């Protein structure tokens, strides 16, 4: 009986502490705005026009409530289908970084229900991507990607600025086309590469031919110059030089000629006895 009474008293104390904490938190005269946020104070549900910065702020415990609106940079990704100028189906995946302008948190809280991502960002990105994609052919979406991106950002800023939102960064993650179009692009790329190779080969052959012609002309000019320089005087000079070289090499002996048949007048015979 005594144990049960103690248990009942303990439960009653715990319940009193919990109720006390709830009451204190409900009637606390202070509200805190953490870093990366701004505060919007409502009095019986009606938002004030004042933007509360980070820190601790006074509020009436019963009638006023502090609501937090994030002004930190948020990231969003999305994808969707659109049609290009040449009626190709384009599946686009994009990524965007944005934040709420601090001086516009009241309108974001009041007009967008503190949900700018769902109410403005998503539909704005989809609309901008479709509008810009329709101005370019499928091939231009690839070759002029940076221009397409800049056009989408311009369209986004025009709409988002009206609602107090700022585009910090926008990027096109990927463009996907139909299988037929991808095969056509691949075939065109292969043809262009083969054409470039053929042109390089023709240029190489042309250069090599020009080099051969230049060498042949140089050799012909050299031979013609040599023939023009050969005169009778030069020939006599070369003949005299050759004779002088032969005399320098002669050892003073006449050449000896041996023959198997010797003429009779040159044979000395002894008379027989």
Q: Does domain 74-177 have CATH number 3.30.479.30?
A: yes
Contact 96, 115 (CB under 8 A): no
Q: Say how far apart CA 128 and CA 138 lie, in whole Å.
A: 17
More confident residue, 117 or 254: 117
- Spatial neighbors of 105 by CB under 8 A, at least 6 apart, are 38, 39, 40, 51, 69, 71, 164
Given pLDDT bands bounded at 50, 70 and 90, which one contains residue 12? confident
pLDDT, residue 255, reads: 58
More confident residue, 127 or 201: 127
Least confident range of 151-155, 178-182, 258-262: 258-262
Domains of the chain by residue range:
2-70, 74-177
Residue corresponding to tokens 């311009």: 154
Q: What is the pLDDT of residues 156-201, one digit of tens each?
A: 988 898 899 999 999 998 888 877 776 776 677 777 777 787 888 8
């Amino acid at each position: 009986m005594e144990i049960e009474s103690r248990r009942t008293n303990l439960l009653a104390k715990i319940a009193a502490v919990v109720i006390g904490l709830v009451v204190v938190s409900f009637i606390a005269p202070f509200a805190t705005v953490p870093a990366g946020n701004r505060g919007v104070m409502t009095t019986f549900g009606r938002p004030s026009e004042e933007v509360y910065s980070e820190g601790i702020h006074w509020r009436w415990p019963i009638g006023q409530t502090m609501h937090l609106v994030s002004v930190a940079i948020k990231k969003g990704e999305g994808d969707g289908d659109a049609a290009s100028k040449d009626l190709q189906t384009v599946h686009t995946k994009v990524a965007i970084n944005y934040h709420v302008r601090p001086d516009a948190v009241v309108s974001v809280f009041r007009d967008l229900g503190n949900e700018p991502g769902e109410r403005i960002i998503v539909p704005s990105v989809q609309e901008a991507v479709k509008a810009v994609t329709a101005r370019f052919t499928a091939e231009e979406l690839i070759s002029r990607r940076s221009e397409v991106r800049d056009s989408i950002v311009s369209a986004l800023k025009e709409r988002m600025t009206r609602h107090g939102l700022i585009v910090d960064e926008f990027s096109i993650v990927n463009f996907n086309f139909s299988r037929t179009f991808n095969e056509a692009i691949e075939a065109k790329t292969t043809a262009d590469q083969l054409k470039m190779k053929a042109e390089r080969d023709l240029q190489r052959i042309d250069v090599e031919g020009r080099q051969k012609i230049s060498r042949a002309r140089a050799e012909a000019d050299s031979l013609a110059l040599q023939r023009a320089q050969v005169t009778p005087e030069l020939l006599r000079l070369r003949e005299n030089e050759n004779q002088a070289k032969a005399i320098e090499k002669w050892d003073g002996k006449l050449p000896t000629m041996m023959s198997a048949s010797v003429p009779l007048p040159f044979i000395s015979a002894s008379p027989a006895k």
